Amino acid sequence: MKSPKADLHIHTKKSDGKLAPADIVKKASEKGLCTISITDHDTYAGYFEAKSAGDDLGVEVLPGIEITSEYKDRECHILGYGFDLGNAEFSAFVKSQKLRRYKRARRMIQNLGKMGFDISIEEVIGEAGTMNISRNHLAKVMVSKGMAPNVRVVFDRYLGNRSPAYFKIGYESAEEVIRLIKSAGGISILAHPGLYYVEEDIKYFIEAEIDGFEYIHPSHNYLLQKRYREICEQNGLIATGGSDYHGFRPEDESYFGTVAVDSSTVAHIKRLTVDRKKQHTSQ
């Protein structure tokens, strides 16, 4: 029998994805996925709509988020699953990430201003709506004002990580983010570790009590999958995965429903979150 599949890394309109949460659930149902998690950047706002669509269509939806943190002066993405949605400390932290992104956008707008490009925070908010502001929103405003032919050019010339108008804001450390997720009863996973990390880094994350590594990801070849699966097995950690679907690139469509993990991964996550919640309520 074919074992049911789960996609634990998906973006929606609530961050930088194309589809609404309910449309993702519909798509998941069509592809025969049993479980999904919406992991938007620094927000879990998509969970509620996805959960109610999932209840209707028989797709399980796990609370999820992809948090931007910092490790060794670089952005480090940490996935959180199964956290308690009513946890005050965690929801305050998520709110603070939104503010951080707003402040960062203002600094990039200033930098662009010095380069002769006049865009306003209001225009950027007009683009972002209720979503967390990302560089994509700034880029879209610039394109719509004829300052660049397309978003890619904006990143290449102005807003890319090494480009002149980019502003790097300090994010919370990876270690602190791991702690926050845990104290909200959730589990933390290092997203798409890929080629970035050497043995010393892996050791660091394990000592920081990360709960697992994302071993299945479109950017991972078989060797990387094997590497991270083995690291998880050897350390008793959870090996997760998903398509990192955004919906803008043609290849996203072939990954969705294919780049996925077995439902036993979901069972592992749920076991751990149940245990963790018990620990917290008994303390």
| Binds ligand AMP by CB under 6 A, chosen from 44, 71, 81, 155 | 155
Cβ distance to Mn ion smaller for residue 24 or 191: 191
Query: How far apart are the C-alpha atoms of 101 and 43, rounded to whole Å?
Result: 12
Q: Is 41 in the site for ligand AMP (CB under 6 A)?
A: yes
Cβ distance to ligand AMP smaller for residue 75 or 118: 75
19 touches 276 (CB < 8 A): no
Query: Which partner from the list ligand AMP, Mn ion, none does 77 bind, CB cut-off 5 to 8 Å by kind?
Result: Mn ion
CB of 155 to ligand AMP, least distance (A): 3
Q: What is the dihedral of CA 155, 157, 158, 164, to 10 degrees?
A: 130
Burial call 178-202: b when 16+ CB within 10 Å, e when fewer? bbbbbebbbbbbbbbbeeebeeebb
Task: Count Cβ atoms below 10 Å from residue 263 Cβ, excluding itself.
Answer: 16
CB of 217 to Mn ion, least distance (A): 9
Q: Is 134 in the site for ligand AMP (CB under 6 A)?
A: yes
Q: Is 77 in the site for Mn ion (CB under 5 A)?
A: yes
CB of 42 to ligand AMP, least distance (A): 8
Q: What is the largest CA-CA distance in the chain?
A: 62
Query: How far apart are the C-alpha atoms of 132 and 45, rounded to whole Å?
Result: 10
Query: Which partner from the list ligand AMP, Mn ion, none does 151 bind, CB cut-off 5 to 8 Å by kind?
Result: ligand AMP
CB of 66 to ligand AMP, least distance (A): 10
Query: How far apart are the C-alpha atoms of 43 and 215, rounded to whole Å?
Result: 23
Binding site for ligand AMP (CB under 6 A): 16, 41, 134-136, 151-152, 155, 160
Binding site for Mn ion (CB under 5 A): 16, 66, 77, 191, 244
